[in-house]
A and B are shown apart, each in its own frame.
Chain A
Amino acid sequence: MLLELKNIFKWVNSGGQRIFLLKDINLSIEEGEFISVMGPSGSGKSTLLNVIGMLDTFDEGEYHFLDESVHTLKEKYRSNLYKEYIGFVFQSYHLLDDLTVYENLEMPLLYKKYKGAERKAMVADMLDRFNIVGKKDLFPAQLSGGQQQLVGVARALIGKPKLILADEPTGNLNSQQSEEIMGLFKKLNEEDKVTIIQVTHSEKNAAYGSRIINLLDGRRI
């Protein structure tokens, strides 16, 4: 088992009232799964993803990732954990505007203490695999949305994560670009056994996955 959420609650206090963002979420995910999280706006999809990605905290419940119980870890260890095992893909790509494609890919490796030669090899490998060698010296602004997201996925993968979290990865893309990215995810999942959790609005994209989790008002339904 990759991760397990037990009775997760998350809330904010507003005007003396407790508003639940996540309510009693129970979820366990095995390695190699491809899961789609669906639900209307405000149902807690992104919050759930952030909790799984350890970018956000929760107020009650237990979270086990591999053998670690995340809810008892300090921030520093949490970030070490996600640094090692999780890659993120965003709707608006979130590439660093001031860095080239090459440098964007290299950036996460800098924080993982790889040696210079190793980094070079890993970035070259990634550029090769995603067919973007020719674009390595371009800045994000010089790329199309599809290409930017390709770099985004490559960046998420470069640290060889076990889990990829994708928050509406195709939300800003046209249908052809969407298909390419989804195809890529499918391939990654099937050939490289990378676990993927994606948030999506589209039934079509959800169909790429092996399991669908539906949320409404912070609850699984």
Chain B
Amino acid sequence: MYKLFLKIATRYLLKNRLYSFINIFGLAVGTACFILIMLYVNNEKSYDTFPGSENIYRAYMDYLEGDKWVAGDANSYIVTGETLKENFPEIRNYARLRYFTNLVLIKENEVFENNKGSLADPSFLALFDLKLKQGNAKGALNEPYSIVLTESLAKKLFGKEEPMGKTIKLFNANSPAFTITGVLKENNRKTHIPNDFLVSFSTFRAWDAFEGDWEYTWNQNVYYTYLSLAPGTNTVQLQQKIKDLKIEALPYERHNIEPLEDIHLYSNKPYEAQANGSVQRVRFLFAIGLIIIILSWLNYINLSTAKSLERAKETGIRKIAGAQKPQIIMQSLLESLVLNGIAVAIAFGIVLLILPAFSVFINQDLTFGIANLYQALPLFGFILLGAIVSGIYPAFVLSNYTPAKTLKGKVQTSPMGLTVRKGLIIGQFFATIILIVGTLIVNKQIRFLKEQPIGADLQQVVALHWQVLDVAPDADSTLVSGIKTFKDKLQNLPFVTKMATANTFPGGRYEDLGSSAGIIFPNGTLDEKRITYNYAVSPEFFELMDFEFAAGEPFKANSRGSSNEIVMNEKFIRFMGISDMEAAIGKTVKFWEQEWTISGVLKDYHHFGLKTGIEPIFIRYSPSADNILIKLNERAVTSGGLAAAMTQIETTWKELFPQSTFNYTFLDENFEAQYKEDKAFGTAFQIFTALSILIASLGLFGLTSYTVVRRKKEIGVRKVNGATVIQILSLLNKDFVKWVSFAFTIAVPVSWYVMNQWLEGFAYKTNLSWWVFLVSGLSALLIALITVSWQSFKAAIVNPVQTLRDE
């Protein structure tokens, strides 16, 4: 019997090619989108999960701002772990990391750049469930100058050679030799703090490169502290106790904890190890994924219910031949399984095809296959469930037809059925309009961010940075004179217009900025709470960046080549309670046990990008900072291009410092890079919206064909009585306009609320203009009308003789 059912199903699908295509295509696209999005969502949720990860927490610092505590810093103090462990028995152990990025490793004469690694307590391996492929996990991080490499870094450095016991150098050629005491087993784990290598924390005390950092207990927070809690700890209580723990040295700070597993998605504090994900983005995409697959199921329901009319006769005959309800339902379900099965197979194909491109696009390494089957299983279950649920309604509709009527061509259309279909269409357009609004707002926001003046000109500004590897620490003067020669040579290049040095720049990394608290205002007030930021530049920096001064001028160096003058931004001046910028010039503030004179006030500019607000910043004098900034002129762009110009600069550098690394950053690109994720999100939003509109249109198409079949005779009768094609069209389309309008009315407040939430993530946001909603509503209506009219027009031009002859 089932064989026959299958046979009928396949024949039916083949015979009704358009119907099958629309149905399968809609389901396949919907399912593929859903799978892709879920892979992304699972990937984002999989960060820092390993056996025992649920008991690992990170300590971080809350700062008191006004009278409110805010999450202030992902870093904590060197004694944080010890202190918390002593106070709270629930904390079994802790591990500290001091994290470095862009680090140079030197193996004999080979230089390896851009490595990430940490000074780590021996306990870190156990806390993070890291296994060693080689070496002894117990002792690998005990001795000073021990280093543990990841499998991939070991391979990169040593190839097939045995890495154990070999030595490498860190930072530069003068560093002590680090002995490789272990190789980490590759675990392909996603983590918020990727390490290529780990150095024993005891190195910290032994190595003079860290000078007296060891002595700073409650003065310097540059460490990540991870805590291992006893299983079953009441973390809410513990968190409260930790918050209540007073540290005498820190009157305006307190400790706080957060689950390790939540860091990637939920934490976005200053000084994170890397830019984290966004739970909001994940939620949005998850919602879109759900909407899309539900839309395609609704479609399936709509289309197959519409089609079931044509099959009413078949059902009637079957019933007369003795088929009973369950058999009819089974057959219908089987058909829907066949159709869904084909669609899912195609969806898998699409996913496998698109996944590499999608992975690049979202900048994540996603896989789909046997390897992560356990991930895919719930997905399968969900899809199967959907297939069954969406098959049930049409099956029941079909099985309810009574033979005496269907065989006479009279198909009863229950008001209930009509309501269901109406609801489905309204639901589809409700979702579609929200998605259109979303797309428009996301794009508007990204355009807004791009167009927003940041208060500096980053065009054609390049930051050059380097690391000289073979200069002894006491040979500082060689370095200084070498850099001076380099600068002179740069100045002579035809395409270099301006030059300055700076240790960071707008859009630069958090970790390159200094931050401090504790300043005495010009009026003598001491503020110890507010964190302010600072960096150091040469005086030419201000002109090169095209900064605007609200008052005063750049600082000048004194005869000894230093300066106690500083430039502040307006925010800083206002924070000190001075509203007249001119009045601040020449005033003295005191911090770092030294007096500083304000020489100028910068108009506020966006140092951190537009996602965060403007913070108080001061800029101090330093003639030889880490980066040389140069401004290129048009000639660099036209003659030979930027790449050629950069090659020439690099050659000049390498002639002076053959043993060095050389890198450069274009400031405008670097600044834009912070929106990369948002742009990717915007594009994803667009693509998925387009697809769901397509799917919704297919559904509408199906419903129209249903309505048209249902009203075939009515149309015929009206035409015989003189109705024009236009009148018929408006008769058929009227309902859809009504439904779309209804969907619009409920979609507006929902989308307004949702997009408002999304915009909350930005410090600077575009407004939710009314036209966005209008355009969304109108385009949804337009799409609906075009889809509907295609079918209605066909029905409206049919010669009534044909439709009425059946009787």
Enumerate chain A interface residues (CB-CB to B < 8 A): 46, 50, 53, 55-56, 76, 79, 82-83, 88, 90, 94-99, 103, 106-108, 110-112, 155, 159
A-B contact pairs, 11 of them (CB 8 A): A46-B408, A55-B320, A79-B322, A79-B324, A82-B322, A94-B313, A96-B314, A96-B318, A98-B12, A98-B314, A108-B321
CA separation between A157 and B318, bound complex, in Å? 15
Chain A residues with Cβ under 8 A from B322's Cβ?
Answer: 79, 82-83, 108, 111-112, 159
Closest 8 CB pairs of A and B: A83-B322, A111-B322, A108-B321, A55-B404, A56-B404, A98-B11, A50-B404, A110-B1
Q: Which residue on chain A has the smallest CB distance to residue B317?
A: A94
Chain B 391-409, CB within 8 Å of chain A: the 1/0 string? Answer: 0000000000011100110
- Residue in B4, B313, B318, B323 whose CB lies within 8 Å of A103: B4
- Residue in B320, B327, B402 whose CB lies within 8 Å of A88: B320
Q: How large is the interface on B (under 10, 10 to 19, 20 to 34, 35 or more residues)?
A: 20 to 34
B12, B15, B323, B327 — most chain A CB neighbours (10 Å): B323
Does chain A have a CB within 8 A of B122? Answer: no
User: Chain B's interface: helix, strand, loop or mixed, by majority?
Assistant: helix
Does chain A have a CB within 8 A of B777? Answer: no
Chain B residues with Cβ under 8 A from A106's Cβ?
Answer: 4
Q: Which residue on chain A has the smallest CB distance to residue B402?
A: A55
Q: Closest approach, in angstroms, between the C-beta of B258 and any C-beta of chain A?
A: 62
CA separation between A96 and B319, bound complex, in Å? 12
Tell me if A98 and B317 are in contact (CB < 8 A): no
Chain A residues with Cβ under 8 A from B616's Cβ?
Answer: none
Does chain A have a CB within 8 A of B182? Answer: no
Q: Which residue on chain A has the smallest CB distance to residue B323?
A: A111
Assuming the contacts A106-B4, A110-B1, asked whether A155 and B324 have C-beta atoms less than 8 A apart, the reply is no
Q: Which residue on chain A has the smallest CB distance to residue B324?
A: A79
Tell me if A111 and B8 are in contact (CB < 8 A): no
CA separation between A112 and B321, bound complex, in Å? 9
Tell me if B11 and A155 are in contact (CB < 8 A): no
Does chain A have a CB within 8 A of B289? Answer: no
CA separation between A83 and B320, bound complex, in Å? 7
Chain A residues with Cβ under 8 A from B609's Cβ?
Answer: none
- Residue in A94, A96, A99, A107 whose CB lies within 8 Å of B407: A94
Chain A residues with Cβ under 8 A from B408's Cβ?
Answer: 46
Tell me if A111 and B313 are in contact (CB < 8 A): no
Does chain A have a CB within 8 A of B316? Answer: yes
Q: Which residue on chain B has the smallest CB distance to residue A86?
A: B320
CA separation between A110 and B328, bound complex, in Å? 12
Assuming the contacts A94-B317, A98-B12, asked whether A55 and B403 have C-beta atoms less than 8 A apart, the reply is yes
Q: Closest approach, in angstroms, between the C-beta of A116 and any C-beta of chain B?
A: 10
Chain A residues with Cβ under 8 A from B314's Cβ?
Answer: 96-98
CA separation between A53 and B402, bound complex, in Å? 13
Chain A residues with Cβ under 8 A from B15's Cβ?
Answer: 98
CA separation between A46 and B407, bound complex, in Å? 12
Tell me if B402 and A107 are in contact (CB < 8 A): no
Tell me if B321 and A111 are in contact (CB < 8 A): yes
CA separation between A166 and B12, bound complex, in Å? 28
Chain A residues with Cβ under 8 A from B1's Cβ?
Answer: 110
CA separation between A179 and B87, bound complex, in Å? 106
Q: Closest approach, in angstroms, between the C-beta of A64 and any C-beta of chain B?
A: 20
Q: Closest approach, in angstroms, between the C-beta of B620 and any C-beta of chain A?
A: 84
Q: Which residue on chain A has the smallest CB distance to residue B2?
A: A110
Q: Which residue on chain B has the smallest CB distance to residue A95?
A: B317
Contact residues of B between 293 and 342, Cβ < 8 Å to A: 313-314, 316-324, 327
Chain A residues with Cβ under 8 A from B11's Cβ?
Answer: 98-99
Chain B 768-784, CB within 8 Å of chain A: the 1/0 string? Answer: 00000000000000000
Chain B residues with Cβ under 8 A from A83's Cβ?
Answer: 321-322
CA separation between A140 and B384, bound complex, in Å? 36
Q: A53-B320, A107-B4, A111-B323 are in contact. List 17 more A-B contacts (CB 8 A).
A: A46-B408, A55-B320, A55-B403, A79-B322, A79-B324, A94-B313, A95-B317, A98-B8, A98-B12, A103-B4, A103-B7, A107-B318, A107-B321, A111-B321, A111-B324, A111-B327, A112-B322
Chain A residues with Cβ under 8 A from B12's Cβ?
Answer: 98
CA separation between A97 and B314, bound complex, in Å? 8
CA separation between A41 and B127, bound complex, in Å? 89
CA separation between A73 and B200, bound complex, in Å? 87
Chain A residues with Cβ under 8 A from B402's Cβ?
Answer: 55
CA separation between A98 and B403, bound complex, in Å? 18
CA separation between A83 and B11, bound complex, in Å? 26
Chain B residues with Cβ under 8 A from A99's Cβ?
Answer: 8, 11
Q: Closest approach, in angstroms, between the C-beta of A189 and any C-beta of chain B?
A: 21
CA separation between A155 and B322, bound complex, in Å? 12
Tell me if B404 and A155 are in contact (CB < 8 A): no
Q: Closest approach, in angstroms, between the C-beta of A88 and any C-beta of chain B?
A: 5
CA separation between A108 and B323, bound complex, in Å? 8
Q: Closest approach, in angstroms, between the C-beta of B3 and any C-beta of chain A?
A: 10
Chain B residues with Cβ under 8 A from A50's Cβ?
Answer: 404
Contact residues of B between 387 and 432, Cβ < 8 Å to A: 402-404, 407-408
Q: Closest approach, in angstroms, between the C-beta of B541 and any C-beta of chain A?
A: 80
Tell me if B320 and A110 are in contact (CB < 8 A): no
Contact residues of B between 318 and 373, Cβ < 8 Å to A: 318-324, 327
Assuming the contacts A94-B313, A94-B407, A98-B15, asked whether A79 and B4 have C-beta atoms less than 8 A apart, the reply is no
Tell me if A155 and B8 are in contact (CB < 8 A): no
Chain B residues with Cβ under 8 A from A94's Cβ?
Answer: 313, 316-317, 407
Q: Closest approach, in angstroms, between the C-beta of A110 and any C-beta of chain B?
A: 5
Chain B residues with Cβ under 8 A from A108's Cβ?
Answer: 321-322
Q: Which residue on chain A has the smallest CB distance to residue B408?
A: A46
Q: Closest approach, in angstroms, between the C-beta of B435 and any C-beta of chain A?
A: 38
CA separation between A78 and B404, bound complex, in Å? 14
CA separation between A96 and B323, bound complex, in Å? 14
Q: Closest approach, in angstroms, between the C-beta of B670 and any C-beta of chain A?
A: 64
Assuming the contacts A50-B404, A106-B4, asked whether A76 and B317 have C-beta atoms less than 8 A apart, the reply is no
- Residue in B4, B7, B324 whose CB lies within 8 Å of A76: B324
CA separation between A98 and B317, bound complex, in Å? 13
Q: Which residue on chain B has the smallest CB distance to residue A79?
A: B324
Q: Which residue on chain B has the smallest CB distance to residue A111?
A: B322
CA separation between A23 and B807, bound complex, in Å? 26
CA separation between A67 and B313, bound complex, in Å? 31
CA separation between A83 and B318, bound complex, in Å? 11
Tell me if A155 and B321 are in contact (CB < 8 A): yes
Q: Which residue on chain A has the smallest CB distance to residue B15?
A: A98
Q: Closest approach, in angstroms, between the C-beta of B486 and any C-beta of chain A?
A: 82
CA separation between A106 and B3, bound complex, in Å? 12
Q: Closest approach, in angstroms, between the C-beta of A142 and any C-beta of chain B?
A: 14
Q: Which residue on chain A has the smallest CB distance to residue B10?
A: A98
Q: Closest approach, in angstroms, between the C-beta of A12 and any C-beta of chain B?
A: 13
Q: Which residue on chain A has the smallest CB distance to residue B319?
A: A79
Tell me if A110 and B324 are in contact (CB < 8 A): no
CA separation between A108 and B327, bound complex, in Å? 12
Q: Closest approach, in angstroms, between the C-beta of A75 and any C-beta of chain B?
A: 9
Assuming the contacts A90-B407, A94-B407, A98-B12, asked whether A110 and B317 have C-beta atoms less than 8 A apart, the reply is no
